[in-house]
Amino acid sequence: MRSAHRRPGVTEVQRLIMEGGRRLHGQVRISGSKNAVLPILAATLLTDEECVIRNVPRLRDVAVMTSILRRLGAEVHAEAEEGEQVLRVCARRLRTHEVPETLVRRMRSSIFLMGPLLGREGRVRLSYPGGCAIGPRPINLHLKALSDLGAVIEERNGYLEARAPVLAGATVHLDQSSVGATENAMMAAVLARGMTAIYNAAREPEIADLQGFLNAMGARVSGAGTDVIRVEGVGRLRGADYRVIPDRIEAGTYLVAAAITGGHLVLLDAEPSHLESPIAKLREAGAVVTARGREIHVQGPDRPRAVDIKTVPYPGFPTDLQSPFMALLSLAEGTSIITESIFENRFKVAGELRRMGAQIAIDGRVAVIRGVHRLSGAVVEAMDDLRGGAALVLAGLAAEGRTVVEGVRHIERGYQDLDRKLLEVGARIRRTLNGAVLTRRTAILPAPPPPIGS
């Protein structure tokens, strides 16, 4: 057994242990979208009234965002309603404009707290969010957009200090499509004076969900889903009651789980229109996929066919499903080519898949995958990319023998109850903590957010 890489002071060793070879069969309920709920939670800082956010997924990243909001002075109460998590957030008054470094380090998406804090307080201080496994993750587009709107930003010994006595509507040209920069600009513009136009805006569904939430608060935002977003600044925003869209990446991951095991799954509470590109690729690979309202039915092939994939901004093939598809194509008939055009370094999982017998050659942003007939179980490590971790679980579902996936905490950042949901559709999987089995069929209640100060 490979020794688990333990972070200093981290005693818990969580593992996902799978016996592969079972065709999955049954229903999977899709949770709320991580990448929609994180900016929406940040946007609750824009009002001193209570916001009710529904369909909130129980994820580590949500727990971190909750801790940040509390540290800033917001009250956050988690409730369970018909099995879903509801967060009541009220930032009546903020006690600080500084985002704690320990929490920024745990979640680089903290960067999109800049927009709301500038809109609400006129200032924000946070440590420079680092890169991660998938690339340097620069924030130049965020800083340029906020500067265009009137923020004065200084970078001083690892910290960003931004002030904006007055945020003024502006024309913002984003040099390239960036989800986070688009969201930051939207959240800074809603309370700015005058009109803002954001050109080359990202078109992801999570942008439209943020627009929906901001407008429910009384903002005047339009154009989400196109590459020009317009915002008419207003004097103040009120609380809102809002339900987050389903997680299209979680849904896509389960579609691949059916395809890689030759199983049949019905995804409930999904949004098929957010998955047109991945569904087209799965059909090309031989899966039968049918959408019925908010359900997606998928029948995997006995053996997938090779397909070529290039990740591009929405509505093209999403980079977040690139690793799950790499696992699928490792078993395909033929050779597939994946081109990762969004992030610089998002093929790390290839090394772990090779340890299971995959034949993958990497050349810069291109991966060439020569399909094999079978993968063999192994002890593998989910690096700091939750989608790579999910890909290893998918490979373990199809591999012969036992697969042990370490680094489960990365996976829990973006997948709620992954082991339970897979167990319920026939996977032989269990989650262990220091050897004790944790997986159970009942829903796992949300882990309480880390205490303030952690």
**Contact between 179 and ligand EPZ (CB under 6 A)?**
yes
Q: In angstroms, what is the minimal distance from the CB of 313 to ligand EPZ?
A: 6
Cite the active site residues: 132
Q: Which is nearer to ligand EPZ, 190 or 390 (CB)?
A: 390
Q: In angstroms, what is the minimal distance from the CB of 250 to ligand EPZ?
A: 10
Q: In the set 38, 149, 240, 349, which binds ligand EPZ (CB under 6 A)? A: 38
Q: In angstroms, what is the minimal distance from the CB of 389 to ligand EPZ?
A: 10
Among the listed ranges 77-85, 96-104, 172-180, 394-402, the one in contact with ligand EPZ (CB under 6 A) is 172-180
Q: Which is nearer to ligand EPZ, 57 or 286 (CB)?
A: 57
Structure tokens at 31: 């949770």
Please give, one letter per residue, the 3-state secondary structure of the chain: CCCCCCCCCCCCCEEEEEECCCCCEEEEECCECHHHHHHHHHHHHHCCCEEEEEEECCCHHHHHHHHHHHHHCCEEEEEEECCEEEEEEECCCCCCCEECHHHHHHCHHHHHHHHHHHHHHCEEEEECCCCECCECCCCHHHHHHHHHCCCEEEEECCEEEEECCCCECCEEECCCCCHHHHHHHHHHHCCCECEEEEECCCCCHHHHHHHHHHHHCCCEEECECECEEEEECCCCCCCCEEECCECHHHHHHHHHHHHHHCCEEEEECCCHHHHHHHHHHHHHCCCEEEEECCEEEEECCCCCECCCEEECCCCCECHHHHHHHHHHHCCCECEEEEEECCCCCCCCHHHHHHCCCCEEEEECCEEEEECCCCCECCEEECCCCHHHHHHHHHHHHHCECEEEEECHHHHCCCCCCHHHHHHCCCCEEEEEECCEECCCCCCCCCCCCCCCCC
**Contact between 142 and ligand EPZ (CB under 6 A)?**
yes
Of 281, 190, 213, the residue nearest 55 (C-alpha): 213
In angstroms, the first-to-last Cα distance of the chain is 31
Q: Which is nearer to ligand EPZ, 113 or 231 (CB)?
A: 113
The alpha carbon of residue 333 and the mean position of all alpha carbons in its chain are separated, in whole angstroms, by 30
Q: Which is nearer to ligand EPZ, 17 or 110 (CB)?
A: 110
Of 263, 195, 258, the residue nearest 228 (C-alpha): 195
**Contact between 320 and ligand EPZ (CB under 6 A)?**
yes
Q: Which is nearer to ligand EPZ, 108 or 374 (CB)?
A: 108
Q: Which is nearer to ligand EPZ, 64 or 219 (CB)?
A: 64
* Rg, the chain, Cα only: 22
> Identity (one letter) of the amino acid at 282?
L
**Contact between 386 and ligand EPZ (CB under 6 A)?**
yes
Among the listed ranges 171-179, 291-299, 302-310, 366-374, the one in contact with ligand EPZ (CB under 6 A) is 171-179
Q: In the set 242, 317, 325, 343, which binds ligand EPZ (CB under 6 A)? A: 343
Q: In angstroms, what is the minimal distance from the CB of 245 to ligand EPZ?
A: 12
Q: In the set 44, 178, 196, 322, which binds ligand EPZ (CB under 6 A)? A: 178
Q: In the set 137, 238, 365, 370, which binds ligand EPZ (CB under 6 A)? A: 137
The alpha carbon of residue 454 and the mean position of all alpha carbons in its chain are separated, in whole angstroms, by 22
Beta bridge partners, 297, equal 266, 290
Q: In angstroms, what is the minimal distance from the CB of 385 to ligand EPZ?
A: 7
The alpha carbon of residue 320 and the mean position of all alpha carbons in its chain are separated, in whole angstroms, by 8
Q: Which is nearer to ligand EPZ, 340 or 406 (CB)?
A: 340
Beta bridge partners, 305, equal 333
Q: In the set 211, 253, 319, 416, which binds ligand EPZ (CB under 6 A)? A: 319
Q: In the set 141, 185, 201, 429, which binds ligand EPZ (CB under 6 A)? A: 141
Q: In the set 20, 57, 169, 180, which binds ligand EPZ (CB under 6 A)? A: 180
Site residue total, ligand EPZ (CB under 6 A): 25
Q: In angstroms, what is the minimal distance from the CB of 249 to ligand EPZ?
A: 6
Q: In angstroms, what is the minimal distance from the CB of 135 to ligand EPZ?
A: 5
Q: In the set 130, 138, 194, 364, which binds ligand EPZ (CB under 6 A)? A: 138
**Contact between 364 and ligand EPZ (CB under 6 A)?**
no
Q: Which is nearer to ligand EPZ, 342 or 378 (CB)?
A: 342
Q: Which of residues 388-427 bind ligand EPZ (CB under 6 A)?
A: 414
**Contact between 41 and ligand EPZ (CB under 6 A)?**
no
**Contact between 184 and ligand EPZ (CB under 6 A)?**
no
Alpha-carbon span 16 to 408, nearest angstrom: 7
Give the footprint of ligand EPZ on this chain (CB under 6 A). Answer: 34-35, 38, 109, 135, 137-142, 176, 178-181, 202, 206, 319-320, 342-343, 386-387, 414
